Amino acid sequence: MESGDGLVVRIRPRRASFTADQLRAIADAALRHGNGIVELTARANLQLRGVTSASHGPLLQVLEGIGLLDSDPNVEGRRNVVLSPFRSALDAELADALYKRISEGPDLPGKFGFAIDTGDTLVLTDTSADIRIESGRDGLILRADGAPGGQPVTRESAVAEAMRMARWFVESGGVEQGRGRMRAHLARSNLPFATTALPAPIAPEPIPGQRSDGARITFEFGILHAELLVKLADCAPEIRITPWRMVFLPDRALPQLPGTITVPDPRLKVYACTGAPGCPQALQETRALARRLAPMANGRLHVSGCSKGCAHPGPADLVLSATRHGFVVARGAKAGAEGPLLKPQDITEETLHKVL
């Protein structure tokens, strides 16, 4: 993807997991072929920034050499599968089967994705996904995003039924001009599968720090530099990428590394995209403003450089959407919502209270 600082290259790890050796190779490649900046995405991927047209080919050779490329770019583009970082053997088994079926399945839109979340506690309910394989009351449930209930499935049938739902989405007109999401499609179409009514699950707030199952580490705005990536690789043989701008080191003690956040912090509730000038579509600088507003954030704060809302696609308690003349401010809304306009220098806790 073109950006203001060069190409952005997204790396989709299988099972949302890297080995330590893979991370070291990625860090070296980020320095050699990019500007050394590495980003965590909301779908448990990594992004390398500052890649040039000349360095893109050598970077892909590195990624292919460490087993991170699919043989077919179109298949890789459809391999949007988010797993719980605290996954079980069942999660890994379902993911591997889903990867294979996706490569043989329909041509899905680039943002269309799957989630596998079969633990005792659902943790991915706030993560963007169109088809979900989840734990239900009495076993596994297949849930279409936007549907009030789920379809009971088994370990053996879950992936096949997920792909049947994906085919229905395509064949029933869910894709228009290469785009489409399940929730929007269900607003105008009826799902032709029998479902069981289920209460809407609520995901626990992801918190960094030491836990009984390992260490959880996060970073301001999900950004780290290649040198820090190497230090993380030195801490554990496996590093799992989460959709919460956080990494999980299974069965490891919490390392004390510079540039990490390992305790609850106001910045964890703040979302900000690259902004101007790093993104050519951004109309304002975002991260310095988000950093300044973090201490006053009451709930989730989203500072978006345009109306697309890439950093946080869902609603936030407070969202600031950039325009050429300042930021439109709204409560409980997505980026691009209507509201009063403020100039960046005029945005304070006092002015926000006045206009909202």
| pLDDT tens figures, 127-161 | 999 999 999 888 999 999 999 889 999 999 999 99
Q: What is the mean pLDDT of the chain?
A: 92
Q: Does pLDDT of 291 surpass 90? A: yes
- Does residue 158 contact residue 142 with C-beta atoms inside 8 Å? yes
Residue 199 has φ and ψ, to the nearest 5°, of: -70, 150
Amino acid at site 210: Q
| d(C-alpha 133, C-alpha 152), whole Å | 10
Would you say the C-alpha torsion 179, 184, 188, 191 has a positive or negative sign? positive
DSSP designation for 261: B
Can you tell me the distance from the alpha carbon of 110 to that of 76, in angstroms, rounded to the nearest whole number? 10
Q: What is the pLDDT of residue 148?
A: 85
Q: State the average pLDDT over residues 160-171.
A: 96
Backbone torsions φ then ψ of 27, nearest 5 degrees: -60, -45
Angle at alpha carbon of residue 282, lines to 277 and 288, rounded to 5°? 60
Give the residue, 72 or 233, on which the prediction is more confident: 233
The residues near 354 (Cβ < 8 Å, ≥ 6 apart) are: none
What is the torsional sign of CA 170, 174, 176, 178? negative
Sorting pLDDT into bands at 50, 70 and 90, what band is 302? very high
C-alpha to C-alpha distance for 284 and 212, rounded to whole angstroms: 42
Higher pLDDT, residue 314 or 214 = 214
- What is the pTM for the complete model shown? 0.89
Residue-level pLDDT at 21: 97
CA gap 112, 110 in Å, rounded: 6
Helices and strands per DSSP (H, E), number in the chain: 9, 21
- Closest C-alpha to 276, from 265, 287, 291, 266: 287
pLDDT tens by residue, 89-140 = 999 999 999 999 988 888 899 889 999 999 988 999 989 999 999 998 889 9
Q: Are 109 and 175 in contact, with CB atoms under 8 Å apart?
A: yes
For the stretch 335-346, pLDDT in tens is: 999 999 999 999
Distance CA 150, CA 152 (A): 6
Residue 65's H or E segment, with its range, is: helix 53-65
Distance CA 349, CA 300 (A): 15
